[in-house]
Structure 1
Amino acid sequence: MVNVPSAPSTLRVALLLLAPCSLLTLAGVLDTLREANEQEGRLLYQWQTFTPDGRPLRTTSGVDIPVDGAFTDAMGRDTLLVLADEFQPFGGSPLLVSALSRAAHHYRRIAGIGAGTSWLAQAGLLDGYRASINWQIFSAFSEQFERVIPTQNVFELDRNRLTCAGALATVDALLAMLAQDCGAELAERVATHLISGPLRTISDRQRIPFVTGPGERHPKLADALRLMESNIEEPLTTDDIAQLVGVSRRQLERIFRQHLDAMPSRYYLALRLEKARAQLQRSSKSVLQIGLACGFTSAAHFSNVYRDHFGVTPREDRRNYQAGREV
């Protein structure tokens, strides 16, 4: 039985908008919070917008967004969301970085959206936390912030830190926040009304271009990965995939070893297991139903392979996940 958090009173959210910031990122936050209020029929989330100096924010599309005032760390809200769309140097903003450092004392949860994650890292707010980093700045971020645990998942929710890669992943991150606050059922309803498609989880990775050299895509690898993504319930063999993408089995294995450091069969299995793990965490389907949906022939086979990969059985992993949400 899944435990659902009791309906909270109005949760106060502060949105710190840092240029450059896009309308897409801002709308992803505001529309998700607004729809949550609509679905609950009451003021579940109440938000205010801020910039460092209180002046309107000019978005990347040239639209000026009025705000409620200048950001200060002592305002105190349930959640602080820091939104930005590009990695920026911090040398000219010591007061803002200092204010963000102190914000941890006044907010129950702190989130970085897109390059907002870089600002949180600069303020020391992500030391020892997993953080979702946009693939375009992943290398630079990893070199600069050695105490952060960077990932290329679409978002991360690690204790009281929420981070996401930005753009469309913003909605996924906000839905995860909503599920944590009010339960998965409300998050599913909001997702349905936003027409966002299946909920992505922290197990879902960013779609990153595969390259063989500067700017050169590898179409055969991309084709093979699309086939794997599209055939989870009835997995293809390596020979099937090689034939469909127009290469020999040996060529396909060489491409996978070169670019993903894995054999196609092992990568495919890990992909199916990650899909299964996401369903265990986000649905009430039985272990058998999930195993069959992810291409395993029986509950026993699924459980054995799952334990070999993750170190726990599917039932243990689901129990651990639910226990963590209750903390």
Structure 2
Amino acid sequence: MSDQVPVRRVQLLLLSGYALHELALVRAALIGANRLAGREIFQISLATLDVAPVKDEAGLSLTVPQLQPQLASDLVFVLTGALRPARRVIELLNRDAMLVGIGWGVFWLAQAGLMNGYKVSVHWQQAEHYLEQFPQTAISSNLFELDRNRFSCGGGMAALDLTLAIIARLAGNELAGAVSESLMNERMRSGEERQRIPLQNQLGSGVQPKLVKAVSLMESNLEEPLTTDEIADRVCVSRRQLERLFKQHLNSVPSQYYLDLRLQRARQLLLQTSKSIIQIGLSCGFSSGPHFSSSYRNHFGTTPREDRLRHQPGRRSTSVGDET
């Protein structure tokens, strides 16, 4: 079967701050496909738009050639560590090529207008930021997306899952499965799987389904929090039983665990979106700005405004809501 698979020219486009482990996962899968196919079905080369050498997220330098317009590719993986100007990308990348965004690489392609009209997968922690920056694209919470000739994932281990899925599409499921086994990958995850690890998988098989349902209710009701009694009623246990489950498995009480979920969500919105602080507080179930600020300070040791300014030093307060 591999004799019938056409050769694909693959460029791994490295931009400043790319994650070395994601590059390693992508290369390992593609090289493994070549080895198991018995021939070079993927002609792999590295390139950058930066002045060489390009540095990864830890500052490790790698000298690679600059991407040239005449070096047309069938498949281009974009790996980068932050949202940055997608300069000169239009004339360098073929819109008809298969373009793959890994992590922040999805943002980079979207900034260049190359993801308009496509469904994309971004890291769940970056979803709000992506929607604010690129409302014209459709976002997915799936592990990865294969939409026509645009492929995307949120990074991390999903880079391997996405690359295996690409190998399966271009060279067959049998080869992709063999590559996965050769890398001692536990299993090939499908794109439809959830990004976030379910609570039951985090805590093991011994966790009570009632606890899983209770946490799911909390995660689904952040803007208008339920009371502990309401949660207990919905999962069909007594309040005391619910408190015992949280103490046994999560070493917390339901009300504190719920508050922690809301504050973590608030911090995610605070650092990734331009929403006012009061808007964020209200959307996470806090009745007022002072209530939100006090709870935030008690949990994180700093106010929402101070935290935002520390992580976004160029930002200035623009509304009353940003004064808390």
Q: TM-score range by the shorter chain?
A: 0.5 to 0.7
Match for residue 241 of structure 1? 209
Following superposition of structure 1 onto structure 2, how do residues 290-305 of structure 1 map, counting pairs within 5 Å? none
| Residues 47-56 or 252-261, more deviating | 252-261
Give yes or no for the alignment of 1:9 onto 2:6: yes
Structure 1 residues 39 and 151 mapped into 2: Cα distance closer, same or farther (>3 Å)? same
Following superposition of structure 1 onto structure 2, how do residues 134-283 of structure 1 map, counting pairs within 5 Å? 134-207=123-196, 223-224=199-200, 241-242=209-210, 245=211, 254-255=217-218, 257-258=220-221
Match for residue 302 of structure 1? none
Q: How far does residue 154 in structure 1 lie from its aligned partner after superposition?
A: 1.7
CA distance in 2 between counterparts of 1:264 and 1:122 reads: 44
Give the number of aligned pairs: 228
| Residue of structure 2 aligned with 1:37, choices 34, 37, 45 | 34
The two structures, once aligned, show a CA RMSD in angstroms of: 3.1
CA contact (8 A) 1:14 1:80 kept: yes
Q: How far does residue 180 in structure 1 lie from its aligned partner after superposition?
A: 0.3
Give yes or no for the alignment of 1:132 onto 2:121: yes
Structure 2: tracts of 5 or more residues without a match: 225-230, 237-324
Match for residue 111 of structure 1? 100
Structure 1 residues 253 and 22 mapped into 2: Cα distance closer, same or farther (>3 Å)? closer
Which one-letter code corresponds to 1:11 in the other structure?
Answer: R
Superposed CA deviations along residues 244-287 of structure 1, whole A, max 9, x for unmatched, are x4x9x8x668536525999889xxxxxxxxxxxxxxxxxxxxxx
Give yes or no for the alignment of 1:71 onto 2:62: no
Structure 1 residues 225 and 41 mapped into 2: Cα distance closer, same or farther (>3 Å)? closer
Q: How far does residue 39 in structure 1 lie from its aligned partner after superposition?
A: 0.8
CA distance in 1 between counterparts of 2:216 and 2:28 reads: 44
Which one-letter code corresponds to 2:154 in the other structure?
Answer: A
CA contact (8 A) 1:8 1:182 kept: yes
Q: How far does residue 164 in structure 1 lie from its aligned partner after superposition?
A: 1.0
Using the aligned pairs only, state the percent identity: 32
CA contact (8 A) 1:19 1:57 kept: yes
Structure 1 residues 53 and 258 mapped into 2: Cα distance closer, same or farther (>3 Å)? closer
CA distance in 1 between counterparts of 2:216 and 2:157 reads: 32
Q: How far does residue 99 in structure 1 lie from its aligned partner after superposition?
A: 3.4
Give yes or no for the alignment of 1:121 onto 2:110: yes
Structure 1: tracts of 5 or more residues without a match: 209-221, 266-327
Give yes or no for the alignment of 1:98 onto 2:90: yes
CA distance in 2 between counterparts of 1:57 and 1:255 reads: 43
User: Computing the radius of gyration over CA atoms, which structure comes out larger, 1 or 2?
Assistant: 2
| Residue of structure 1 aligned with 2:78, choices 78, 82, 87 | 82
| Residues 176-185 or 130-139, more deviating | 130-139
SS at match of 1:77: coil
Which one-letter code corresponds to 2:164 in the other structure?
Answer: L
SS at match of 1:33: helix
CA distance in 2 between counterparts of 1:5 and 1:148 reads: 36
TM-score (norm: length of structure 2)? 0.62
CA contact (8 A) 1:8 1:181 kept: yes
SS at match of 2:177: helix
Match for residue 293 of structure 1? none
SS at match of 1:120: helix
Structure 1 residues 159 and 63 mapped into 2: Cα distance closer, same or farther (>3 Å)? same
Superposed CA deviations along residues 61-89 of structure 1, whole A, max 9, x for unmatched, are 2322221x211344211111111133x24
Superposed CA deviations along residues 196-254 of structure 1, whole A, max 9, x for unmatched, are 2111111112117xxxxxxxxxxxxx645757x959xxxx9xxx622xx4x9x8x6685
